[in-house]
Chain A
């Protein structure tokens, strides 16, 4: 029996993250779905538990304490549906990111075509590509077999061949895969996803069907040379990821049962929500979601019906941190630091922190290092994700970040910051938005849970998203301009609803704010100077409605791309000043 008003059912959403597990309750309050409360506990995917169920139950027990309601029965099973005495819940959904990165081999024909599609598809979940097999591969078949036997991938993703196109070449590529599977012990064989030429399905079944841990098919990601359609394969891959986790970690089966199969990879659930928001709120500009946590950096973007989802475990702030040096230099990380930190101290930090993914910065110096690392990780993730954005999106300059209507920021690095200003500055530094953008902080990390709940209840995500569970940071104005430090590049006038007015002059290299509270709207008149462009042409003037937030209207006059001073002392002074403007420190 539903525990809530009208036909609303209570919903328990569980997120099993790399470091923490959260149990979140949604229910109908005064006729609308709301985020009610959450309980958190350490994730127990790792030894000695090796069973996520323990952490999930602990998180639910902590949630029960907040709710004053019973959700687990005497045998610690979830009470579902809710009971007349108010105990239990009506539905449950689960998202999962915990567990070791999924070692993946991609197989395709051409490097820039099907292998690239396979790469994009594979990057939509928590994988690491450990080998690529394609027509350009100079290795002999037996060398490919040895590589597969050495790497022991958990997953193989095969693409290639337009529908009705190449078939012999694909078959040739599959031979070493089949032989390697044959030689691997049964329990070590990979799951295989075929997302290539649909005419080959029978042949693929014959070649590797009985030798794979499981063989899955999805529509061709490249039905023709010019067309790429990854979405159906992403769905199949999301299901495969959960199945792989079921084999690897105890307790995932139980969550599958509790949620009646409504269990998704966290990143996929986030991507689903972004696709939905892009449809509902999207203008010509896009919607961007960022999530920076221990397991990965996740960038999801929606543009006019097209969406991308990129998961980068290599840029996560957990156990992969020591490998960050493969993608960047220590100097590039340190450029973001507000304190004078040596490269040696930073390198020690990366290795030491990778031992303890859940640890947090307790001292100011540790926080300065951790924020610098977060900035560079998110910056690298964004640069990587941009490669896969559609070509025909709205930009001010093609080399810059595309224009986004809305940026949603989540993940522990952003949502756990001591002040919202810290989160916003981290985001401005690493993403470098352009033009006019609304920024919302997912302070309760609800976005993936709403994405997962959409399949159970399509009203809940909309109503919770529009509630105050998300923290509006405000509207950010980021002009694109080249000028010298201190030059006035923009004048602005904000007219409030009550008739009051505030004016501001923005100098190049500075960040300024005008107050505008959450829920308030105002009319902002902008006059660009020195060719400053906020999306309405260089030096243009425009009046636009803006919405408020905890930081009001924020003007980022530091130019795009952000070019930090090379003089370290001056750079650190500026970083402190920007922090002071936004976070009051």
Chain B
């Protein structure tokens, strides 16, 4: 018995996802509210910069005296050029706020302000029902539909109509194929190996790209793109796994959400595509834990047959000597083309 890692490629399941603000804020959504991807469910104001004003040094007084001369309090909103402290004497020095902001700390002869505040809105991202409110942080949304998880994402999220530009799982997307008719769409494509294609998609703009693989040299560029990019299989020239390709290509023209979350193996966050589907009742949630067993659909993580899908036939007893010479627990896997390969269990993941 060995536990197996699981990646989800499922035609219909119940999907429950947390949507959280990065910092504390106000939750606008209500419990049991039906939300669409563009609905704002929470908001906050977030200052990325701070200004520390050394009032004591500027007024040339002791910190204790400076604290008594400071005219602002914690929480005060200060306009640019406002007086924060005034020194003593006939011609006193004055300390002014050089930027608009909010006072967050006063003491020790200093004033700390947060500046450059921006309003941040958190959108639902996926359509569904709010099933839990997480006070000051966000909500939990439940929906039903197809779920296709990937291995890499650029951290963006968007929804739109899915258009299939990948006639086959090993297709290559080039910038020339992106015309104006695709503006605002989520594009199902294969391999991308040039920066121009990513740029052309940005200029249309598209709402998102679902790729089988991407060249590692494009990672930095992909992170800069303002639309979501999700990679289903990996890096280099890898075709899309047949299960994901079949599910995505048969759902072309449907509205989909690409949540290209950055893969975090500890939190479990993964990039994924959600295709909401009509249901009469919620289907079972996906199984998060599996044990390797005959009959399971598995994907090969390393050569041989890297990225291919097959059916686990049998787990070989004891340790198996692999063509590399290493010895490991292994399984016999029958690929979709009926070929059989011997694969170490640690190189397999269950798809389901």
A-to-B contact residues, CB < 8 Å: 19, 41-42, 44-50, 58, 99-100, 140-142, 145-146, 149-150, 175-176, 179, 182-183, 185, 248-249, 319, 322, 344-345, 347-348, 350-353, 355-356, 358-367, 416-419, 422, 585
- Asked whether any CB of chain A lies closer than 8 Å to the CB of B151, the reply is yes
* CB proximity of A168 to chain B, nearest CB, Å: 13
Could you name 7 residue pairs across A and B whose Cβ atoms are closer than 8 Å? A48-B6, A48-B289, A142-B49, A179-B105, A355-B263, A360-B344, A363-B324
Quick one: which of B2, B217, B288, B343 contacts A48, CB cutoff 8 A? B288
The answer to whether B303 and A348 have CB atoms under 8 Å apart is no
Q: Which residues of B contact A360 (CB under 8 A)?
A: 302, 322, 324, 326, 328, 344, 346-347
Q: Give a binary string over B333-352; 1 marks a CB under 8 Å from any A CB, 0 the rest.
A: 00000000011101100000
The answer to whether A358 and B52 have CB atoms under 8 Å apart is no
- Asked whether any CB of chain A lies closer than 8 Å to the CB of B295, the reply is no
Q: Which residues of A contact B234 (CB under 8 A)?
A: 348, 351-352, 355
The answer to whether B235 and A363 have CB atoms under 8 Å apart is no
What are the nearest 7 A-B pairs in CB distance? Answer: A47-B268, A418-B325, A348-B236, A351-B235, A48-B288, A367-B324, A142-B52
The answer to whether B325 and A99 have CB atoms under 8 Å apart is no
The answer to whether B50 and A348 have CB atoms under 8 Å apart is no
Most buried by B among A150, A362, A416, A422: A362
Q: Which residues of A contact B235 (CB under 8 A)?
A: 347-348, 351-352
A352–B232 CA distance with the chains assembled, in angstroms: 12
Q: Which residues of B contact A419 (CB under 8 A)?
A: 325
The answer to whether B303 and A146 have CB atoms under 8 Å apart is no
- Asked whether any CB of chain A lies closer than 8 Å to the CB of B31, the reply is no
- Given known contacts A47-B265, A360-B347, is B51 in contact with A366 (CB within 8 Å)? no
The answer to whether B23 and A367 have CB atoms under 8 Å apart is no
Quick one: which of A179, A352, A363, A417 contacts B323, CB cutoff 8 A? A363
The answer to whether A362 and B49 have CB atoms under 8 Å apart is no
- Asked whether any CB of chain A lies closer than 8 Å to the CB of B75, the reply is no
* CB proximity of A341 to chain B, nearest CB, Å: 13
* CB proximity of B102 to chain A, nearest CB, Å: 12
- Asked whether any CB of chain A lies closer than 8 Å to the CB of B327, the reply is yes
- Asked whether any CB of chain A lies closer than 8 Å to the CB of B3, the reply is yes
The answer to whether B302 and A179 have CB atoms under 8 Å apart is no
A47–B50 CA distance with the chains assembled, in angstroms: 35
A390–B344 CA distance with the chains assembled, in angstroms: 43
A175–B50 CA distance with the chains assembled, in angstroms: 14
A467–B306 CA distance with the chains assembled, in angstroms: 41
- Given known contacts A42-B3, A348-B235, is B326 in contact with A361 (CB within 8 Å)? yes
- Asked whether any CB of chain A lies closer than 8 Å to the CB of B301, the reply is yes
- Asked whether any CB of chain A lies closer than 8 Å to the CB of B48, the reply is yes
The answer to whether B151 and A362 have CB atoms under 8 Å apart is no
Residue of B nearest to A58 (CB): B3
Q: Which residues of A contact B23 (CB under 8 A)?
A: 185
The answer to whether A364 and B323 have CB atoms under 8 Å apart is yes
* CB proximity of A174 to chain B, nearest CB, Å: 12
| B17-36 CB contacts (< 8 Å) to partner A | 23-24
- Given known contacts A47-B267, A352-B236, A360-B347, is B324 in contact with A366 (CB within 8 Å)? yes
- Given known contacts A364-B324, A367-B326, is B266 in contact with A99 (CB within 8 Å)? yes
Residue of A nearest to B265 (CB): A46
Q: Which residues of B contact A42 (CB under 8 A)?
A: 2-3, 346
How many chain B residues have a CB neighbour from A under 8 Å?
48
* CB proximity of B30 to chain A, nearest CB, Å: 25
A365–B108 CA distance with the chains assembled, in angstroms: 64
- Asked whether any CB of chain A lies closer than 8 Å to the CB of B104, the reply is yes
Residue of B nearest to A361 (CB): B324
* CB proximity of B132 to chain A, nearest CB, Å: 19
The answer to whether A48 and B268 have CB atoms under 8 Å apart is yes
- Asked whether any CB of chain A lies closer than 8 Å to the CB of B304, the reply is yes
* CB proximity of B121 to chain A, nearest CB, Å: 20
* CB proximity of A345 to chain B, nearest CB, Å: 8
Residue of A nearest to B6 (CB): A48
Give 12 A-B pairs besides A42-B2, A319-B265 with Cβ atoms closer than 8 angstroms.
A49-B289, A140-B52, A146-B50, A185-B24, A356-B301, A360-B326, A360-B328, A362-B304, A362-B347, A363-B322, A367-B325, A416-B326
Q: Which residues of B contact A363 (CB under 8 A)?
A: 303-304, 322-324
The answer to whether B302 and A362 have CB atoms under 8 Å apart is yes
Q: Which residues of B contact A44 (CB under 8 A)?
A: 3
Quick one: which of A99, A344, A347, A362 contacts B322, CB cutoff 8 A? A362
The answer to whether A356 and B347 have CB atoms under 8 Å apart is yes
Q: Which residues of B contact A179 (CB under 8 A)?
A: 50, 52, 105, 112
- Asked whether any CB of chain A lies closer than 8 Å to the CB of B283, the reply is no
Most buried by A among B110, B152, B303, B344: B303
The answer to whether A366 and B302 have CB atoms under 8 Å apart is yes
Q: Which residues of A contact B294 (CB under 8 A)?
A: none
The answer to whether B266 and A41 have CB atoms under 8 Å apart is no
- Given known contacts A47-B267, A363-B303, is B326 in contact with A142 (CB within 8 Å)? no
* CB proximity of B78 to chain A, nearest CB, Å: 15
* CB proximity of A330 to chain B, nearest CB, Å: 11
The answer to whether A146 and B49 have CB atoms under 8 Å apart is yes
The answer to whether B346 and A358 have CB atoms under 8 Å apart is yes
Q: Which residues of A contact B3 (CB under 8 A)?
A: 41-42, 44, 58
- Asked whether any CB of chain A lies closer than 8 Å to the CB of B175, the reply is no
Residue of B nearest to A417 (CB): B326
Q: Which residues of B contact A362 (CB under 8 A)?
A: 302-304, 322-324, 326, 342-344, 347
A50–B265 CA distance with the chains assembled, in angstroms: 9
- Given known contacts A362-B323, A363-B304, A363-B323, is B151 in contact with A355 (CB within 8 Å)? yes
Q: Which residues of A contact B326 (CB under 8 A)?
A: 360-362, 367, 416-418
Q: Which residues of B contact A344 (CB under 8 A)?
A: 236
Residue of B nearest to A351 (CB): B235
| B79-115 CB contacts (< 8 Å) to partner A | 104-105, 108, 110, 112
